[in-house]
Amino acid sequence: MQQRGMRVIFSSLGATELLIILGIIVVLFGAGKISGIGGALGKSIREFRQEKDSLTEDTSDTKKVSQASSDEEKPALKSSEVESTEKAEK
């Protein structure tokens, strides 16, 4: 319900209103402070993407390791081993 209200507010704002709001923000905080906030935001986004990429790499590496270990746990029997196990069972 609250999201609908926010969409209505932002959809009714035009370019002129947004520029006025931006001007007020610059006057209140100063251009230096705003550029610092922008830089920090950009750095945060870069770090988030790097962590996301490293997590997807770790996940794919884990899947490869688990597949390799499951292949090692179930070795294929050679034909001579199959015959010897059949003879032992009899």
Express each pLDDT in 18-30 by its tens digit: 899 989 988 888 8
Q: What's the confidence (pLDDT) of residue 48?
A: 95
Residues lower than pLDDT 70 in the chain: 1-10, 61, 63-90
Classified by CATH at the fold level, domain 1-60 comes out as: 1.20.5
Report the residue count for the chain: 90
Instruction: State the pLDDT at residue 45.
Output: 95
Q: What is the pLDDT of residue 58?
A: 76
Question: Residue 71's pLDDT is what?
Answer: 55
User: Given this model, what pLDDT does residue 40 score?
Assistant: 92
HSE-CB of 22 using CA atoms within 13 angstroms: 8
Residue 1 makes CB contacts below 8 A (sequence gap 6+) with none
pTM of the full predicted structure?
0.42
Are the beta carbons of 77 and 85 closer than 8 angstroms? Answer: yes
Spatial CB neighbours of 13, under 8 Å, sequence gap ≥ 6: 21
